[in-house]
Amino acid sequence: MNLSILIPLLNEEESLKELYSWIIKVMQSNNYSYEIIFVDDGSTDDSWNIIESFSNENPNVKGIRFMKNFGKSQALHAGFAKAKGDVIITMDADLQDSPDEIPELYEMITKERFDLVSGWKKKRYDSVVAKNLPSKLFNWAARKTSGVELNDFNCGLKAYKNAVVKNIEVSGEMHRYIPVLAKNAGFGKIGEKVVIHQARKYGETKFGMERFINGFLDLITIWFLSRFGKRPMHLFGAIGSVMFIIGFLLAGYIGVSKLYHMYTGMKYSLVTNNPWFFIALTTMILGTQLFLAGFLGEIILRTKNNEERYKVSREVNF
Give the total residue count for the chain: 318
Looking at residue 85, what DSSP letter applies?
A: S
* Ordered strands of the 34-40 beta sheet: 190-194, 116-120, 158-161, 87-90, 3-9, 34-40, 61-66, 312-316
Same domain assignment for residues 200 and 293: no
Q: pLDDT at residue 37 above 60?
A: yes
* Domain-located, residue 22: yes
Q: How far is CA 205 from the centre of its chain?
A: 20
* Domain-located, residue 172: yes
- Residue 63 sits in a domain whose CATH number is 3.90.550.10
Identify residue 49 by its one-letter amino acid code: N
Q: Are 46 and 13 in contact (CB under 8 A)?
A: yes
* Domain-located, residue 306: no
The span from the CA of 285 to the CA of 270, in Å, is 21
Same domain assignment for residues 114 and 206: yes
pLDDT recorded at residue 195: 92
Same domain assignment for residues 201 and 75: yes
* Domain-located, residue 92: yes
pLDDT recorded at residue 158: 97
- Single residue among 193, 228, 263 that ends a domain in this structure: 228
* Domain-located, residue 12: yes
Same domain assignment for residues 164 and 25: yes
* 261 φ, ψ (degrees, to nearest 5): -65, -40
- What average pLDDT does range 18-42 have in this prediction? 96
Please report, for residues 7, 57, 188, 242, the alpha-carbon distance to residue 182 in angstroms, rounded to integers and kept in the order given: 20, 35, 8, 34
List the one residue out of 171, 195, 191 whose CA is nearest residue 179: 191
- Single residue among 211, 228, 245 that ends a domain in this structure: 228
Q: Are 38 and 78 in contact (CB under 8 A)?
A: no
Q: Are 71 and 137 in contact (CB under 8 A)?
A: no
Same domain assignment for residues 156 and 269: no
* Domain-located, residue 308: no
How confident is the model over 176-210, as pLDDT tens digits? 889 988 998 899 899 999 998 877 777 666 555 56
The span from the CA of 109 to the CA of 101, in Å, is 13
- Domain count for the chain: 2
Same domain assignment for residues 62 and 206: yes
The span from the CA of 30 to the CA of 101, in Å, is 12
Same domain assignment for residues 274 and 164: no
* Domain-located, residue 315: no
* Average pLDDT value over all residues in the chain: 86
Same domain assignment for residues 175 and 283: no
How confident is the model over 96-147, as pLDDT tens digits? 999 999 999 999 999 999 999 999 988 766 554 445 677 777 788 788 878 8
pLDDT recorded at residue 302: 62
Same domain assignment for residues 263 and 244: yes
Q: pTM for this structure?
A: 0.74
The span from the CA of 86 to the CA of 181, in Å, is 19
pLDDT recorded at residue 8: 96
Same domain assignment for residues 130 and 241: no
Same domain assignment for residues 198 and 133: yes
Which regions of the chain does DSSP assign to beta strands (E)?
3-9, 34-40, 61-66, 87-90, 116-120, 158-161, 190-194, 312-316
Residues 6+ apart with CB under 8 A from 70: 41, 42, 308, 309, 310, 311
The span from the CA of 118 to the CA of 179, in Å, is 8
The span from the CA of 172 to the CA of 72, in Å, is 9
Q: Which of 11-20, 31-40, 88-97, 293-302 has the lowest mean pLDDT?
A: 293-302
The span from the CA of 43 to the CA of 218, in Å, is 25
* Domain-located, residue 141: yes
Same domain assignment for residues 224 and 247: no
| Structural domain containing residue 80 | 3-228
- Single residue among 175, 206, 228 that ends a domain in this structure: 228
